Each structure stands twice: as C-alpha cells, then as structure tokens.
Structure 1
Amino acid sequence: MEPNLISKKELLDEKGISYGQLYRWKRKQLIPEDWFIRKSTFTGQETFFPRDLILARIDKIMNMKDDLSLDELADQFSPLLPEYELRKADLMKRNIVSNVVIERFASVDSDSIVYTFERLLYFFVADKLLHAGDMSMEEGERLLQTMREHFPKFEGKACDLLFARKMGVSSFALLSVPADIYYESGVKLIARLSMNECIEQLKAKLM
C-alpha cells in the first residue's frame, strides 16, 4: 500500500470510530468525497484515504463535536468562502493580521475600506509566511498576485499553496489536493500550506 494512504479498516481501528460514524460525517460533508479513494487489492476493491489529511480531520471532528453541531462543523470545514465583510479599521483593531501587512498590501489607505473574506484570506496567508520568517515583503506581493489570479479558479475545492525557492529565486503555486508533487534538483520547498486549514483558522478568528 502507498505510504501516504491509510485503509478504511486501519482508520476505523486507529481512531476507534465506527463505519456508521465515518459515513455519517461524509454525508454531512465533514469529510470530502474525493478523500474516499477506491483501489483494487488482492481481496477486491477497498477504500483508502490520504493519511495525513484524514487523520487530522478526524482529530478535529472528535475534539470539536461536543461544542458544535455537525452542521456547524460542516460550515467550519467547508472550503467555500463565507459571505463576510470587515472594515479596515475593525480589522486592525481585532489583530486578525498584523498592521504591517495591512498597510503594505492594502491598495487604499482609507479606514472605511471594506474587505471581503477572500481578501482577508490572502492577507492571512501572507501574514503567516512573513511571521514564520519564510518570506520577504517583495515575495509577499507576488504571493498576493498569485492568489488573486489563481485561487478563485478552484471554486471551493481544496487546494494547497506551495512556496519554493531555487538559487535565491522564489515561486508560488496552487495545486489541487490530495496530490503529490516532485521537484527538479536544487529546488527547496519553503512552505506548503493547506488553504482549507487557513480558511478554517481565519473563520475561527472571525467568529
């Protein structure tokens, strides 16, 4: 079996959950349909999952299900962007992203400017990479350009942001998940961010 996959039986045994729970969470859209991967084995057709993604998701469900309904959890995990607007002045007061990021990357200086959730997400991702010390301000500008041009193309589907560098030259890419990617020699992967996780984290900050 591929090391990045886990079988349904292994998942149920490792997490101590039932078949019924798993498929109820699927019906409620807590677990994406495309994480259920059918493969042929010597015993016939079996279901597998992306190991890291499903284990992290089950842990989150188990930790949050006592505080939130399944419908609320589905909203929390959904890659669809909610309809949300926040004024610049309120964004700065709530410290959702650093003021440095807002002032550097906001195109309008007026405190009355209103940001959509999508634009807040772009700022949030840039802020994470800048605070980690992985990215320069100049690279941040190219990150935001990449996000504006390509993130809307996924239309609510899960994707990852890749940030790589070779010989001092950086590049950004968005790709559908689950997926593996292989680089030419000399490329260093600086960061790989799950946009779904970033969306979940930003939703939690805005609640």
Structure 2
Amino acid sequence: MDTELISKKDLLDQMNISYGQLYRWKRKQLIPEEWFIRKSTFTGQETFFPKAQILSRIGKIIAMKDDLSLDEVAGKLSPLLYDLRLRREEIIGRNIVSSMVMDRLGNRADEDGMYSFERMLILFTADKLLQTGEMNLEEGGQLVQTLREHFSKFDGRSCDLVFTRKMGISAFALITASSELYYESKVKLIARLSMTACLEELKMKLA
C-alpha cells in the first residue's frame, strides 16, 4: 500500500494557492517538513506530497485563515497532544481505533486503564493496515510489538514502517524516512507507511 502522491504543481492548481502561500505555511509549521518529498523525474528533481494528508491540511488552513492569524491556525492544527491519555471507551467512541483492534491488540493500557498518545499511535497504525485487508490479526500483533520495542528509539525523528512478506512469512521494520531499501527478489513489499503521516492523522482525529 504505497502512499498516493500529488506533485507541487498539481497541488497549487487544485487548491488554487500560490507558491508563496505554500512555503509561508511551511515556515509557520502548518505543513510538516516531512511532507515535502523530493523525487527524481524525467524533468529533474520535483516536489511531491502525500495527497490525502496535504489536501486535507490545506483545506483546513484555507477554512481558518480568514478568521485566525497563522500562529492561531498553527495552534489549532498542531495541538500539544503528546501528554493526552484516554480510556479504551473514549478511543473507540472517537473512532480512533476499532473495537476489534482494541479487543485483540489493545491489552497494554497503563495500570490506571489509560492509553498514552504513543500507545494510541501504535494501535491506530495497526488498525490502519488491518482496514486495508493487507494484514491479518496475527501480523497486527507483530506490528504492535515492533513499534513498542523500537519506535521510541527514533526520538522524534521521521521514520517509516516497512511491512514485507516472503513465502508467507511476514516481517516489520522501522527505518529512517529518507532511507532507500532494497530486497532480495522473493521478498514482497506489502506496505511502507510514514509514521509522521500516521502521527499527523491521529493528531487531527484527537484535535
């Protein structure tokens, strides 16, 4: 499941915004740096964006910018949610993680029955892949274990979750977002997810 991208030119045309607006919003941190993806094309280097996330984000910026300053918009779009903790019922009720995933994979709440932002992100990511049908519940357990053990090691740096399968055996890895990854011929790439994009999507749900 590769993330669908949109070119900078198509983005500016579709959203009817200028180059200057786009980069002013970037400087104000309304648009994450990680969403500006440089790729080689036949015309040279071009900038692309994760399509669903950037269209949603710019739509929200446009809707708010006439009534709020850019700093106020930034506060709305990037609330300080990392200390937020929710109970199981709240997570399901706010449609953050499905009840099935909470029942099967979400049995690691804190002693007080609350889930930290990081634990919600891990379950949200697993739910996201399960919803596509490309991953089963057993593999979901592997994914959750991989993120529990290694996600914190990136200490806020951008990383991607890589999901592969070879002869029916699945594997998960976390790599820095800019890394190229090469496989032997019999390994199939099932999905490569930006954890930054997942984090931003979760923040929008919690905001």
> Matched residues, percent identical?
49
2:161–2:192 CA contact under 8 A, matched in 1? yes
Bigger relative contact order, structure 1 or 2, given CA contacts below 8 A and separation 6+? 2
Give the TM-score, by structure 1 length. 0.72
Q: CA deviation at 1:119?
A: 0.4
| 1:177 and 2:173 are equivalent in the alignment | no
Give a deviation string over 1:135-171, Cα, whole Å, max 9, x none: 2222112111111122112222322211110111111
Q: What's 2:189 paired with?
A: 189
Considering only CA atoms, is the larger Rg found in Structure 1 or Structure 2?
1
Distance (Å, rounded) in 2 between the aligned partners of 1:107 and 1:19: 46
Q: What's 1:92 paired with?
A: 92
Q: What's 1:160 paired with?
A: 160
Q: Where does structure 1 lack aligned partners over 5 or more consecutive residues?
A: 38-45
| 1:129 and 2:143 are equivalent in the alignment | no
Give a deviation string over 1:9-47, Cα, whole Å, max 9, x none: x5897566444323322321234457487xxxxxxxx98
Question: Tell me, what secondary structure is at the counterpart of 1:65?
Answer: helix
Q: CA deviation at 1:76?
A: 7.1
Q: What's 2:62 paired with?
A: 66
2:25–2:31 CA contact under 8 A, matched in 1? yes
Q: Give the stretch that moved more between structures: 57-66 or 164-173.
A: 57-66
Q: Where does structure 2 lack aligned partners over 5 or more consecutive residues?
A: 39-43
Give a deviation string over 1:172-197, Cα, whole Å, max 9, x none: 11222244322210111111222222
Q: How many residues align?
A: 193
Distance (Å, rounded) in 2 between the aligned partners of 1:77 and 1:183: 37
Give a deviation string over 1:78-137, Cα, whole Å, max 9, x none: 6x8622110123223334212221122233589950001110111111112222222222
| 1:83 and 2:79 are equivalent in the alignment | no
Q: Give the stretch that moved more between structures: 114-123 or 152-161.
A: 152-161
Distance (Å, rounded) in 2 between the aligned partners of 1:204 and 1:27: 20
Question: Tell me, what secondary structure is at the counterpart of 1:67?
Answer: helix
| 1:206 and 2:206 are equivalent in the alignment | yes
Give the TM-score, by structure 2 length. 0.72
